[in-house]
Amino acid sequence: MTQKIFISGMHSGQNPASGLGIARCLRQAFPDLHLVGVDHWQGSTGLNAPVLDEAQLFPLWSQLDNNSHSRQVRDWLDEGHLWISATDLEVHWLNDHVGPHENLFAPTQHAVEETSKPRVQAVTELESMGFRVPEYIPANLPDGEIHRFLRHNAWQCWLKSPYHDAKRVTSWGVFERARAQLKQNWKTEKLFLQRTIFGHEETIAFASFQGELVDAAHLTKRQITPEGKTWAGSVQPLAEDLRRGLAQVMRDLKWNGGGEIEFIRDPDGVRWIIECNPRFPAWIFGGAISGINLPGKLMARALNREYRDTPARGAGFTRVVVEIPVQESIGLPWLSAQTATEWSIDGKKGKGGPSFGSFVPDLASQQDEAESEASEALLPPPDLPPPILWDDVRGLMRNFQEATPHRAPLEGWLKQRFRVLSEKAKKASPNSPKIRVGYSVKTSPTDFHLAQARESGFLAECISQAEVHRAIQTGFQKNEVILNGPGKFWPQDQEPVRGLHLVFADSFEEWETLITDPKGPMARGMGLRMRVPQVHSRFGNQLDDFENFDRIAKSLKKFPKTADLGFHFHMPSWAIGMRRWQEAFQSLLLWCQTLERVGGIPVRHLDLGGGHYPGDLPELDFPAIQEAVREALPSVVTLYFEPGRALTQDTEVLVSRVLDIRRAPDGSLREVVVDACVAELPLIHSHRHRTYYAARSAPPLGLPQTEVLEAGSVRILGRICMEDDILSPGVNLPDSVALGDCIVFGDAGGYERSMSYVFGRG
């Protein structure tokens, strides 16, 4: 019988397992060994390596029958074959299902527990080894404790799973996301938070035969991939003091097989332990190149064969990427239908190294120079606003004397926005279904805006009883109100207004309350807000799950006969773009159609919500939308749109004055500070704002000119002491700018108004 050496862990990607390295070490030490590569995924490319005599591909771990696999492994071991485990997961599995065996090279359960993260007790309790444990806490402590730990460590920590994987934590938000992700990935609550140690990474690889240290190698990492994996390093024999300590650990734990201690050496030379892995490291062949072939020495002991060290072949080792033929017996994995770009999604892929960015400016400037003379005619025209808006801005600034910061409406442009939409809806409405616009009150609830909405024939779309009352006070009738949102009955100290035009339930519970209200329907039309699959939203009734869908369908049997059924959805084209909005709309039609058929009640009202970018509003093709609705849902009588931001965002400006001008030592203009701030422009970082400049003093001839500021190199800073109070990363402000000159921020209406707050005013 040919004795076989089974070596698991043949993954050979950016985060490789050590199986291939072990095989190369053994081939170098004993060319006659019969090496069998083992893995559970066809994409583990090391299976194709010519260094192997044979490859065994088992099913994915999730498809594995533990009994037959453990029986098979045990049979092989009993027959005298050897098994070197090279993955953490498999070491755990072997301990659970196979147990110790003289031919199995993997530490026992006891040894694994004694060297587990974060304490790595067996190693760190030996003072002679000089390892310290970075401060840590369990991540299932109360959040207050965790927050204190993070603060205490200057938000420089790692969240780690007990098995594998770690996420860098630099803020509370990052921590919460990392905690949720690691819990989900590893199905465990046993996460821990450990402070970051700054220093250089080193590791000690070792081989131990039945509790006796065979040899060890000390690696200093010299190049590291973005994933933190070794790419190049120098390997030295282990220092004697460490070797003595390690030998004792191996004896105590009766370690059989390979292993690795990872640590960081800080600038003071202190060694901080990171973890101890129960298998050889993936760089293990780098050790053999450097004259320390640990797997070779281990097998020499196991097989009782003579072994001679091979002299070092270099001053260290580095990895390279090589192509090899795919073995007939393995083949290539299929590409997944939807992950044609999976690799790029997966990220950096070892593209660390010299940055080419530093070369770019030279190249770019050469190109710019060459092109500038010939291409002046090709320069984009100034980004002038629409004429009416531009006239409003210039008119406002012509005799501007107000105290700043000052928010001012652009009345001509605002009326134009409302008029155009109103006419568009009226023009489309002779067709079926009729189109109604519901003005989103929350966006800008000023008297002026509400009056404009009413005069335009719009309904009022409200999200609370307070807004309903506000709409009614300004002249809307009750039956001109659409009520929506998760808190529509707030404040609760007053009876909700009844007799509304439409009301949409945000949850199934709210829906049940609405349709079984003993007082009867509170609105002419009642419906559900739908959360269509693939749409990331906290609002509405989720349709991803059949059970949710089914209970909605069944509840329609209780729908009051005196009301009309409607559905509402909100897909902000603002965030997802018009093309995707149209696809989502098509998808919504199918959901409505499905519920109509299953529930047996015709859908009369369809509310498509708002969230359109101002510039996208004209792109809404009402006739096409009407036609699609007519075809899919012939019973729909009215189709609703709820613009708010799209109508108001660019209908106001915020005027500020320059408080400070900052120049570089060479006199070039670098930054200006203005008297506006993020409190008046809370969404300054979330969308584009047109910016204008008006000099305080009149030019020699005529009135002061207002000009559009294009992108440039002068930053505009806000007046408050907040790091993010940067109102523009760069504009082409003229060098002649003077204190007191005006900088005008456009697109300052809508939520910029309604969400602004008072700050820094004492």
Partner 1 sequence: MSLGAVDLRHSFPTESLLRKSPSESQDREAWLLELVSGEEHWRKWLEHPASELLHHDGICCAAARSWLLAYARSMEISTLGNCETRAPAWISQRWEWGPSPWPMAWCELVKRDVLDCGVFAVLAREIFRAQGISAHPAQALLHYEETCTQHWKQLWATDPRATFPWVGKRMVYHELCVLELPDGSARFYDSTWGQWYHPEPRAGHGAILALRSECPRLLKWGGKIFQHGDWVKL
Shortest Cβ 97–partner 1 spacing (Å): 13
> What Cα–Cα distance (Å) separates residue 81 from each residue in 24, 77, 303, 312, 597?
18, 5, 11, 30, 65
Shortest Cβ 595–partner 1 spacing (Å): 9
Shortest Cβ 78–partner 1 spacing (Å): 18
Q: Does residue 168 contact residue 175 with C-beta atoms inside 8 Å?
A: no
Shortest Cβ 586–partner 1 spacing (Å): 7
Shortest Cβ 110–partner 1 spacing (Å): 29
> What Cα–Cα distance (Å) separates residue 290 from each residue in 220, 283, 286, 315, 486?
12, 11, 6, 7, 66
Tokens of 401: 């004397």
Shortest Cβ 46–partner 1 spacing (Å): 14
Select 330 or 603, whichever has its Cβ closest to partner 1: 330
Task: Residue 711: count other Cβ atoms within 10 Å of its Cβ.
Answer: 11
Q: Look at residue 459 and give its three-state secondary structure.
A: strand
358: which DSSP letter? G
Shortest Cβ 634–partner 1 spacing (Å): 18
Select 336 or 562, whichever has its Cβ closest to partner 1: 336
**φ, ψ dihedrals at 55, nearest 5°:** -130, 135
Helix (H) or strand (E) holding 20: helix 19-29
With 0-12 / 13-18 / 19 or more C-beta atoms within 10 angstroms meaning exposed / middle / buried, residue 736 is exposed
Interface residues with partner 1 (CB under 8 A) are 42, 56-59, 63-65, 67-69, 326-339, 532-535, 543-544, 546-547, 549-550, 553, 579-580, 583-584, 586-587, 590-591, 593-594, 597-598
Select 123 or 595, whichever has its Cβ closest to partner 1: 595
Select 326 or 363, whichever has its Cβ closest to partner 1: 326
Shortest Cβ 332–partner 1 spacing (Å): 8
Shortest Cβ 347–partner 1 spacing (Å): 20
Shortest Cβ 331–partner 1 spacing (Å): 3
Task: Residue 721: count other Cβ atoms within 10 Å of its Cβ.
Answer: 8
Bridge partner residues of 641 (DSSP): 437
Closest CA to 461 of 610, 620, 618: 610
Select 593 or 732, whichever has its Cβ closest to partner 1: 593
What angle separates helix 411-428 from helix 622-632, to the nearest 10 degrees?
Answer: 40
Select 69 or 687, whichever has its Cβ closest to partner 1: 69
CA-CA distance, 31 to 10, in Å (whole number)?
19
Select 375 or 534, whichever has its Cβ closest to partner 1: 534
CA-CA distance, 467 to 455, in Å (whole number)?
18
Closest CA to 1 of 81, 73, 56: 81
Select 59 or 740, whichever has its Cβ closest to partner 1: 59
Select 139 or 552, whichever has its Cβ closest to partner 1: 552
Select 64 or 637, whichever has its Cβ closest to partner 1: 64
Tokens of 483: 């009520």
CA-CA distance, 607 to 588, in Å (whole number)?
11
**φ, ψ dihedrals at 158, nearest 5°:** -125, 135
